[in-house]
Structure 1
Amino acid sequence: MSSQRKLRVGIIGAGEVSQVIHLPILAMLSHLYTISAICDVSQKNADHCAEKFHIPLSTVSADEVISSKDVDIVFVLTSDEFHETYTVAALQAGKNVMLEKPITLSILSAVRIIEAERAAKGARVFVGYMRRYATSFTQAFKREVASIPKILYARVRDFSGPNAQFVAQSGTFQVRNTDFPPEASKARTEKLNALFAEAFPNKEVTPERQKYCRFLGSLGSHDISLMREILGSPDSVAGVSVNEPFYTAIFNFRNKSGEPFAATYESGIDRVPNFDAHLAVYGEDKRVHISYPSPYVKGLPIVVKVDELNEFGEMTSREVLSSYEDAYTTELQELYQCVVEGKEIKTTTEDALMDLKLYDEMYRKYDEGLSKQG
C-alpha cells in the first residue's frame, strides 16, 4: 500500500463540510490522499485547518491553491455561488475537480462548467453526490428494487432537522471565524444575483424564489439526484408546494410496463433533532426502503428494509446492511479510482445538469400556481 500513488489535494473552502467531513475522511484515507494546500476567505479558518490537519500551505488565495505544482486535484467546498468560478479555473489549470453538490444554481452556469471540462483535455469533474455512493444503496437497495416487476409508487423524503445540533455532537470541533475581507460579501452577493437571474429569466427574483433555488441546491439536490438514479428522470412535474422551510413536489413516471406512477418529494428543515431522510419504492407485493442517517454522526448504518408478501401469502420483513462504511468515505474511495485508475465517473457534470433541468420544471410549475392565484 505504501507504494500506491497518493493524490495531492488542494482544498478551496474551510467551512463546515470541509472541517466536519472532508478533512477528517481525507486524513483517514492517507494511503490514497495527502492534503497539500487549503484556502478560505477567512485566514483564521484556513490556518486552523492547516494546523489541525498538518497542511503545508494555508492561504486566502484560491489561485494559489489552483496553480500549485503540489496539487493534483482541487476540492471545491465553497458555497454554491463560487462553484463555477473555481471549478472552471481549476479545469483551465489542468486540474481534476471534486465539486461538492450542487454543481451550481443555474442551467447556464452548469453548461459553462461542462464546456470548460470538455476543453480541459483530460481533467475531469466529480460531483459529490455522496448518497449515491453508499454501499447499501449501490448494492442492496438497487438489487431489491430491480426485482420489483412493476413499480406503483415511490417516495423521497428529507427532513434533516437542526444540522447545527448534529455538527456540535460530531466530535470534529468545528470553528467559525468571521475575519472576512469587506469585499467578500459584495462578491458573494454579485455572484448570487447573477445566478438567480439565470435561474429565473424574465422573472422577478423574489425572496421566495431565492430561498427555493438555494434549498433545491442544498438539501434538495441529494434527494432529486438519488431519485433519478433509481427511477430515471420523470416525465413531468405534476405539482409543487413552496412553503419555506418545507417544499414538496409530485413527479410523473412510467414503470417497466409503461404504466404511470407517481413519486412524491417532501423535504424541509425544522428544529426537531430527528434526521429522517429516505427513499422508498413500492410494488404490488414488495416495498423497499433505504434510510440515511445524519452524515455528521459517525458510525450510523445506512439500512435497507424490505417488506414483502411471500409465496405462502405471509408478510415478511427483513433488513439489509451492505456496509458500515459511511457514504463520504465510499465516495472518496470511488473518486480515487476515477482519477488514478481511469474508472468512469457516475456523478458527472452532465448528470448533475439533469437536476437543474428538473428544478427548472419545478420553477415553472410554481409559476403556474402563482398565475392561478393572481
Structure 2
Amino acid sequence: MTTLRVGVIGAGEVAQVIHLPTLSLLSHLYQTVSICDISLHTAQHCATKFHIPRATTDPLEIINDANIDVVFILTSDEFHAEYTIAALQAGKNVMVEKPLTLSIPAAQRIIDAEKKYAKGRVFVGYMRRYAPSFTGAFLREVASIPKILYARVRDMSGPNAFFVSQSGTFQVKSSGADIPDTAVETRNRLLDELYREAFPNAPNGVVTDAMKKYCRFLGSLGSHDLSLMREALGGLTPYSIDGVSVNDPFYSAILSFRDGKQNEFAVMYESGIDCVADFDAHMAVYGEKKRVSIQYDTPYVKGLPIKVRVEEVNEYGEKEVREIVSSYEDAYTAELKEMYDCFVNGKEIKTTAEDAVNDLKLYDAMYRKAGW
C-alpha cells in the first residue's frame, strides 16, 4: 500500500487536536515528515509529540520538498490561497482546511493555478460532508421525501475551549514571543486584501469591523453549515436571500429555494457562539409526512456519534420515530480515508475548490442583502 508523505503548514489548534492525531492513527496511509508553524516553539512541540522528523518556520521548505506528496494547509484563513497556489505550483496535492479562502477572486486564483500546473489536486476539508451518518442514513432518508417543504440549518457551537480542554490532546499555544513582527504585518496585509475583495462595494471603500467579523464567521462555522446544506439539498442554490440578521456573535438568514419541479421552499440558517457548553449543530429537512435531521456533536472529542433522527407518519397514521447511527467512525477519519482514495486511486473529489466557490457566492449574496 502506498504511504503518502505529508507536510503540515500550521501547527495550531486544528492541527494538534484533530489532524496530527488522526494522521498518526492512519499511519498505514500517511506519514507526516515535516511540520511548519509561524512559532518555532509550537512546531518543535508538535514534532516531538507526534514523532515528526523536521520542524520549521519556513513554509517553502515544505512546499518545495521533493519528498512530500501532500501539503496540509492548516493555517489561519488569510494564508490559504497563497500557500495552496505555491504548493500547486510545486506539483503537490493539497489538503486545505475550510474555508478555501475568504474571497471569490482569491478562490479563482486557486482554481486557475490547479488548472495551470495540473499535477496536484485540491481537497477542501469540509469534514461534516464525509461523516458516514451524513453520506449514508441522512442523504438516503432525505432522498425519500417526495417534496421538501422547509429546512433548517443550525449551529450553536458553544465555547470551543470547553470541548478542546477535554479532548485529551493537551495542545500547546505560542505566547507570541517567538513570532516576528514581519509575520504579523504579512498577516494583516493579506487579510486587508481579502476583505477588499470580499467587499468591493463597501460604502466609501471602508470595510468595517462588523463586515470583517461577518466574513470571518461565515468562513468558520458558516462554511461547515452552508456547504452541508448545499449537498443535502442536491446541489441546489438559493434563488434569493429574503433576509439576514447580523448581530455578532449571532447571525441568521432566510434562503429561498426552488427544486427541479419548481416547488419552492425556505431554509432558515441560524448560527452563533455563546458561553453555554452545548454543541448544537444540526440540519433538519421537512416533508409533508416525514422529518429528517442530523445532529453533529463536537469533533474535538473522538467517538461521539453523529445521529440521524427520522420522524414520520406510519401506515397506521401514527407518529413513528427512528434514530440511526451509520458508524461511530469520526468525520475527520472518514474524510482523510476518502482523500487518500482520491489522491492515490484517482477517485473524484467532491469537496473541490470549484465546489467551495459556491459557498463564497452565497456569502457574497448575504453581504449584499446586509447592505454591503
Q: CA deviation at 1:305?
A: 0.2
Letter of the structure 2 residue corresponding to residue 258 of structure 1 = Q
User: Does the 8 Å contact 1:197/1:205 carry over to 2?
Assistant: yes
In structure 1, how many angstroms separate the alpha carbons of the residues matched to 2:119 and 2:324? 39
User: Does the 8 Å contact 1:149/1:256 carry over to 2?
Assistant: no
Determine if the alignment matches structure 1 residue 181 to structure 2 residue 180: yes
Letter of the structure 1 residue corresponding to residue 223 of structure 2 = S
- Tell me which residue corresponds to 1:235: 239
- Tell me which residue corresponds to 1:259: 263
Give the alignment of 1:1-374 within 5 angstroms: 4-177=1-174, 178=176, 179-203=178-202, 204-231=206-233, 232-367=236-371
User: Does the 8 Å contact 2:226/2:359 carry over to 1?
Assistant: yes
User: Does the 8 Å contact 1:150/1:256 carry over to 2?
Assistant: no
SS in 2 for 1:69: coil
Query: What is the aligned residue count?
Result: 365
Alignment TM-score, normalising by the size of structure 1? 0.97
Q: CA deviation at 1:234?
A: 1.3
Letter of the structure 1 residue corresponding to residue 328 of structure 2 = Y
Q: Which consecutive aligned stretches of 4+ in structure 1 deviate over 2 angstroms post-superposition? A: none
SS in 1 for 2:270: strand
Letter of the structure 1 residue corresponding to residue 350 of structure 2 = K
Q: CA deviation at 1:297?
A: 1.2
Q: CA deviation at 1:255?
A: 3.4
SS in 2 for 1:210: helix
Q: Which moved more, 1:180-189 or 1:319-328?
A: 180-189
In structure 2, how many angstroms separate the alpha carbons of the residues matched to 1:223 and 1:234? 14
In structure 2, how many angstroms separate the alpha carbons of the residues matched to 1:224 and 1:24? 27
Letter of the structure 2 residue corresponding to residue 189 of structure 1 = N
Deviation digits for residues 98-140 of structure 1 (CA, Å, limit 9, x no counterpart): 0000000000000000000001223100000000000000010
Letter of the structure 1 residue corresponding to residue 329 of structure 2 = E
Deviation digits for residues 138-190 of structure 1 (CA, Å, limit 9, x no counterpart): 01000000000010000000000000111011000000012211111111111
Alignment TM-score, normalising by the size of structure 2? 0.97
| Residue segments in structure 1 that go unaligned for 5+ positions in a row | 369-374
Letter of the structure 2 residue corresponding to residue 7 of structure 1 = L
Aligned-CA RMSD value: 0.8
Deviation digits for residues 26-84 of structure 1 (CA, Å, limit 9, x no counterpart): 00000000001000000000000000011111000000011112210000000000001
Letter of the structure 1 residue corresponding to residue 129 of structure 2 = R
Deviation digits for residues 213-240 of structure 1 (CA, Å, limit 9, x no counterpart): 0000011100000000011211111110
In structure 2, how many angstroms separate the alpha carbons of the residues matched to 1:298 and 1:194? 37
User: Does the 8 Å contact 1:98/1:127 carry over to 2?
Assistant: yes
Letter of the structure 2 residue corresponding to residue 150 of structure 1 = K
